[in-house]
Structure formats: structure tokens, C-alpha cells
Amino acid sequence: MYVKSALATALLLKAAAAQQSVWGQCGGIGYNGPTTCAAGSYCSVLNPYYSQCLPGGSSTTAATTASRTTTRSTTLSTTTRTTVSEGTTRTSTRTTTASATQATAISCTSNTPPASAGNVQYAGINIAGFDFGCTTDGTCNGRVSAPPTQQFQHFKSDGFNTFRIPIGWQSLTPTLGGTLSGLIGQYDSTLQQCLQTGAYCVIDIHNYARWNGAIVGQGGPTDDQLVSLWSQLAQKYASQQKVWFGIMNEPHDVNIQTWAATVQKVVTAIRNAGATTQPILLPGNNYASAGAFISSGSADALIQVKNPDGSTTGLIFDVHKYLDSDNSGTHVECVTDNIDSAFRPLSYWLRCKGRQAILSETGGGNVQSCVTYMNQQLAFLNQNSDVYLGYIGWGAGSFGPSYELTETPNSDGTDTLLVKQALIPQFHP
């Protein structure tokens, strides 16, 4: 036992002495490789299982393992696990909620898609980078990596028509309740590059319903402070009909009724600021999980949100879903198409309520298992396009080739496997 322990310790020390290259892994649960980054990069804790060397600074500090706890209700069996989405940290307990339980919330007797269903209207890619340095406690360290804007034209030539551009709240208003400043000029330039392609461009505030660890409207920033941010953004882009407003990326561990009241205030503010027709994306609890949207109470809470005129026109439910073994988006291989556990039950509810959702984050590794399951998942969305508006893959932008879910074009200008063999061929609007 002592010999084995000593050997393991020696191997760990040897690995720690090495330096990882930019975009390489530098930490995480179960990881035994280099834990320091080469000069010109720093080790960013993206999730408990994965820390990555990102460009910026000259830090060679070893990564630490972050851990956050939440309860995530889904339709699958009970397990305790760590989940992440789009390269961020969260530890969660996955609580079983049988599909039959979800079905009790559905009162419609017929849920057959109309004959006109068959093709979603929108599809595209998340262009990440302005969100780098943001973690699931709503802390953003400012170490952004502005995405290469030529990717908009590249993906537009692939046939995509929608791009989601995440950014940290702190990068837009460094002071809570303050005026737009910080990176707004650079972000706006990127957004204009997106619009110039003729695509729809989604502003995504990537803060998990938080600011530096505290929940909006629930002990942290006030509702008015989030309303101030969105009022300014809506005023700025009120005349841009192809700008969509993603209120917040992946809220979690919130009181859903209180969060819905916050969302209502934001919707009212956006409309009153002059953005009267652009879509607004409404995210639920449990990291916007499509599988937990009904069982978590998000559906019942957010369906109460209305435009100032009492209508729900342009109010779209915002859901996410990954295809790996624990729905974390941290594994290269995929094991599920999410149809029976998430998208079929949700399609029933949406159809019964006369509402629509968009899958604004989904992804997998560039391997055959993900090609297979992603094609099945997206084919189902197409078959139910009366309730599912489309999908946006995660992620490209400033992600490099070593990122498990990278959709950044290859150095030779070709698309990655998953984009080429699943995301592109499934989009035929």
C-alpha cells in the first residue's frame, strides 16, 4: 500500500512540474496531468472536472478544483454528480422525477405535431469569449477573450442564421446599476459584425442569475439593477429587429416564483424601452434544463410572464441540454438523444399551452457517438418545429481545438465533425 501511494505521489509531482500549453487541461477531479500553464496563459477553473489554460496574462498558477452544490430535477434516475454547461462549474445532486410525474402536468388529449412541422426556423452556433472568466456563482474575473468575428461569415456560409454571443454582466456595467461602459464598445462591434451577415444575434448575459455569488432579487443585486442593464440594452438595440434578448444564462438554485417575478420586470422594461417586437428568451431554474423545465416548476412560473399588453408574443422559453453521460457537457462521448427524457415531454406541454422554446445550448464531442445522438435529437426538434424554434450549438468563438465540445472551425477552414455531420445537415429551413 505504501509503495503504491508513494508511486502515485511521485507521478503527480512529476505531472505538476510540467507546463500545459494554451487550451490544454490543467486541472480537475481525477486529472493527473500538468497543472501549470505556459507563459501567456492562465489556468481557469471551468468546472470541477476540467480546468483549462486560456490565453491572457502570464500566470502559471496551478488550478484549483471548484465545487458548487445544487439540486437538479430531471426525468432520469437519482445520482449524485457534477454537472457543467459550456465550460463552467457546478456540482449537483440529480433528483429523480419520473416522466409520469411530468405527464400529470399535461392535460391535452392530443399532442400530434401539425403536418406543417418538419423544419426548425433557426439554427446556429454560440460564439463564446466575452464570457470567459465567468463562473456559476456569477463571478466574472474580466479575463475575456474576444471571439474572432470572421466566424460569423464562416458559419453563415454553412447555412446557419442564428448566433448567441455570451458576455458577463460585469463587462457591460462594472458597477451594479451603472451605465453601459466597460466592454460595451467592443461587444457592440462584435454584435454589428454578426448583424452584417443578416443573421439573428442573441445577447446573452452569462451570469447564472447572480452577481459575485449573490442571486438577483434574492439577497443579491436588486431587480431594478438587472432591469437597468436590460433597459439600456433594449434602448440601444430597439431598432435592430434581428437582435434577440437572452435575459440570463442558466439560473440555478433560485426560488423560481421569485425569479419569474424578476423576469417579468425585465420583460416589461425591455418592451417599454422600445424593443416591442424582438424575441425575449425566458430561462428557467436548474441551469435552464429542458429535462427539468416542467418538474422544477419553471414552466408553471414562467408561463405567467406577459408583455405589457398582456400578450405572450415573442416570449420564448430558453432551454439547454447536453448529450453526455451526466448531462454535463464535459465528456467527449455522447450516450443519449434526450428525446424521451426531455424533449418529448416538453413538446407536449408546449403544444398544450400554445408556447414555443429554443434550445440555445447543446453540444457534444467530435466523435461518432455524438454525431449519431445529435442527429436524432435535432431530427426530433425538426419533427416538432411547431413548438421548437431551433437550436444553437456550443460552442465556437475563442474556444481552441483541445476543448471537448469545440465547434471552432479547424485551422484549414473546415468544420468540426459534429458541426459538419449533424448541426449543418439537420438545418433545412
Q: Which residues are catalytic?
A: 250, 361
C-alpha count within 13 angstroms, C-beta hemisphere, residue 50: 22
> CA-CA distance, 428 to 12, in Å (whole number)?
49
Grid coordinates of 306: 406577459
The dihedral over CA atoms of 208, 96, 359, 280, expressed in degrees to the nearest 10, equals -50
Q: Is the peptide bond before 159 cis (omega within 30 degrees of 0)?
A: no
| CB distance 418 to 371 below 8 Å | yes
C-alpha distance from residue 187 to each of 42, 44, 174, 218 (Å): 23, 22, 14, 28
Query: Are 68 and 88 a contacting pair, CB within 8 Å?
Result: no
Q: How many helices (H) and strands (E) are present in the chain, helices listed first?
A: 12, 18
Q: How far apart are CA 402 and CA 11, in angstroms?
A: 23
Taking a C-beta distance cutoff of 8 angstroms, is the pair 144, 171 a contact? yes
Distance, in Å, from the CA atom of 330 to the CA atom of 377, rounded to the nearest integer, reads: 18
